[in-house]
Structure 1
Amino acid sequence: MRAALAGALLLAGCVAPPAREPALPAAPAPAPIAQPPAAPVVRIEGPAIQGGLLHGQVTPGATLTLDGRPVPVAPDGAFVIGFDRDAPPAAVLVATRPGTTLRQETRLPVAPRDWKIERVDAPYRAGRTSEEFAALRPGELAQIVAARAMRTDATGWRQRFVWPARGRQSGWFGSQRVYQGQPGSYHSGADVAVPTGTPVIAPADGVVILAAERPFTLEGNLLMIDHGMGVSTALLHLSRIDVRVGDHVRQGQPVALSGATGRVTGPHLHWGLQWSGAKLDPLLVVGVGP
């Protein structure tokens, strides 16, 4: 009897548990909904003004134009744009996403400037040109044009520029004489009155794109530095140039000595600044006087 009861209990302990329903496979995650590409975004630092240089940022990979002209853009989307002394009152900046028709159009009002105009009650007389000037000038201009067309790996355009020399500002960008209603050429840079032999430094990092081997007829000993993205410096009337074409220079590095070469009335340094052919006011770019 006891054996039969023990066997029954043993059999009861070996009864299999009830079968469970098989687990259902997990539902697949929903596929992400593809978002259509968005139009590029453009940000500009500061207002546009005649003779000014602006920094900006655009969606990386986008292309830019300013009034239909291409604007160089760095891989991170940074760029600069400049406005000539005689820039019209408005400009249009267009950013386009490559491979699409998506674009952002930004209209920029360009503030006018009050230029230093001197009206002279005398007829305009163009300067006489000698046979030597007529023979030399085309070649000099060709060198300047070729230098400005060079593209380098310079990144000085990202920096805050400094004056290439310290002294009294004796010539102002944009100033002009008008002779009985006929305007003469305007001053395309800033002059700093310094004695011959004053050290001249690079206003920003760059690559030398022109170092005159002999004085030019107007500019004298001319040194040009590319700062990248279409921004370039021209230093005129030097007594000595201490760098060569292709040299990489750092901001603040001595590159020349001031002088009175070329067509001048006294020793001084002329600093010309351009962006893609637009003449800029160094006083606006640096922000303080020399």
Structure 2
Amino acid sequence: MGKHRTILLKLYIVSGLLFANVVSTQAETVSSEPFFQGSLIVGKTKPENTVTLNGNKIKVSKQGDYALGFSRDEKNNSELLIISPSGETEKRLLKPLKRNYNIQRVNGISKKIMNPNKKAISRVGEDNKKIRAARQVDSDLTAFSQGFIAPIDGIITGVYGSQRYYNGVPKTPHYGLDYAGKKGDPVKSPADGKILMYVADMFYSGGTMIIDHGHGVTSTFLHLSDSYVKEGDDVKQGELIAAVGASGRATGPHLDWRVNWFNMRLDPALVLKLKPSNL
């Protein structure tokens, strides 16, 4: 065993089960915390420490905040290392708990939507490039560590992870929270951030906005009818940013809110349970 020294390590695990506030007393420990697939984890350590996940370096803010996430179907252990400037290491094993997801069936979708033509497919490809580029932004913002609020006061009609069948054909899982609403209903920013993108007419998602909350954590809003902000604008939590719509390939007015850690799709319902990391 090497020399022991305390390394401050706090994890705020968004899981519905646990918000861990862990201070380790030795440098070499192995621990497993329960949390669900689709979770966002916000950690806090000393700013001078290095953080890695499965060997990949994670950005640490000047205040010691960092973020990471796990996918809908992640089943494996992940190794989180906190390394001090002197080389002392805190090791934790993270393994998400398996979830059961709902099956939803939507009928009456037109063949044009189910089988888009070549021109539409090309357009979808361009849309996806813009979205992927926005989700690769790794800014120094730390709004992700301050907690989130719901972007709309509405009934939840669709949940993360559910498998949808359109006209009996299975499609990719749903990765957002759907809120019922009327066209023009106000949409608020769930946390502080910067507007990375707004496109009014994407093929599938219609009016689409992405907000950067820092360190790869973003919010995406689909099917909007209007935007009250523009790319590059700074926004505050609770600020009016857009209006509910039925644009794109939507069956009616509603808001689809999604949260990502880079290209990792997370569960907004769990993100809403996040406690600020400065408590």
TM normalised by structure 2 equals 0.80
Deviation at 1:150, TM superposition (A): 2.3
Between the two proteins, the alignment pairs up a number of residues equal to 246
Aligned partner of residue 201 in structure 2, secondary structure: coil
Q: Is residue 2:248 matched to residue 1:281?
A: no
State the one-letter code of the partner of 2:189: A
Residue ranges of structure 2 left out of the alignment (5+ in a row): 13-18, 20-33, 275-279
User: Alpha carbons of 1:118 and 1:201: their partners in 2 closer, same or farther (altered >3 Å)?
Assistant: closer
Match of 1:254 in 2: 240
Distance 2:80 2:11 in 1: 10
Distance between the aligned counterparts of 2:118 and 2:263, measured in 1? 29
Q: Does 1:91 align with 2:78?
A: yes
Quick check: 249-258 or 158-167, which moved more? Answer: 158-167
The Cα of 1:71 is off from its aligned counterpart by 1.6
Bigger drift between 269-278 and 127-136 goes to: 127-136
CA RMSD of aligned residues (A): 2.6
Q: 1:287 to 1:60 in 2, by over 3 A?
A: closer
Shift in Å, 1:178: 6.8
Query: Which amino acid counterpart does residue 60 of structure 2 have in structure 1?
Result: V
Matches within 5 A, 1:229-248: 229-248=215-234
Q: Cα gap change, 1:56/1:223 in structure 2, threshold over 3 Å: closer, same or farther?
A: same
Structure 1 residues 179-209: Cα deviation after superposition (integer angstroms, max 9, x where no partner): 9xx9531001010010100010100000000
- Of residues 30, 36, 40 in structure 2, which corresponds to 1:49? 36
Whether the 8 Å contact between 1:118 and 1:176 is mirrored in structure 2 is yes
Instruction: Quote the Cα distance in structure 2 between the aligned partners of 1:135 and 1:84.
Output: 27
Larger CA Rg, structure 1 vs 2: 1
Q: Secondary structure at the match of 1:134?
A: helix
Alpha-carbon contact 1:215-1:222 (below 8 Å) kept: yes
User: Unpaired segments of 5 or more residues in structure 1?
Assistant: 1-35
Which of 189, 192, 196 does residue 179 from structure 2 map onto?
192
Higher RCO, Cα 8 Å, sep 6+: 2
Distance 1:178 1:67 in 2: 35
Q: Is 1:130 the counterpart of 2:117 in the alignment?
A: yes
CA distance in structure 1 between the partners assigned to 2:263 and 2:56 by the alignment = 11
| Aligned residue number for residue 253 of structure 2 | 267
Report the Cα distance in structure 2 between the residues aligned to 1:107 and 1:241, rounded to whole angstroms: 42
Contact 2:176 2:256 in 1 (8 A): yes
Instruction: Report the Cα offset of residue 133 of structure 1.
Output: 0.9
- Structure 1 pair 162/119, CA: closer, same or farther in 2 (3 Å)? closer
Question: 1:89 touches 1:111 (CA, 8 Å); kept in 2?
Answer: no
Write 1 or 2 for the structure with the bigger share of strand. 2
Asked whether the equivalents of residues 94 and 103 of structure 1 are also in contact (C-alpha less than 8 Å), the reply is yes
Q: Distance in 1 between matches of 2:165 and 2:129?
A: 29
Say if 1:81 and 1:135 are closer, same or farther in 2 by CA, change over 3 A.
Answer: closer
Q: Percent identity?
A: 35
Equivalent position amino acid for 2:10 in 1: R
The residue type equivalent to 1:238 in the other structure is: L
Rounded to whole Å, the distance in 2 between the matches of 1:132 and 1:110 is: 40
**Pairing of 1:114-263 with structure 2 (within 5 A):** 114-117=100-103, 127-177=114-164, 184-212=171-199, 214-263=200-249
Residue 177 to residue 222, structure 1, CA distance change in 2 (3 Å): closer
- Contact preservation (8 Å) 1:41, 1:104: no
Could you tell me which amino acid in structure 1 is paired with residue 245 of structure 2?
G
Deviates further, 100-109 or 49-58: 100-109
Give the whole-Å Cα distance in 1 for the aligned partners of 2:59 and 2:82: 12
CA distance in 1, matches of 2:103, 2:187: 29
CA distance in 2, matches of 1:105, 1:243: 42
Deviations 1:160-181, CA, capped at 9 Å, x for gaps: 20111111111110000479xx
Normalised to the residue count of structure 1, the TM-score between the two structures is: 0.77
SS state at 1:215 partner: strand
- Cα distance, 1:101 vs. partner? 4.2
The code of the aligned residue for 2:123 comes to L
Letter in 1 for 2:241: V
Contact 2:61 2:142 in 1 (8 A): no
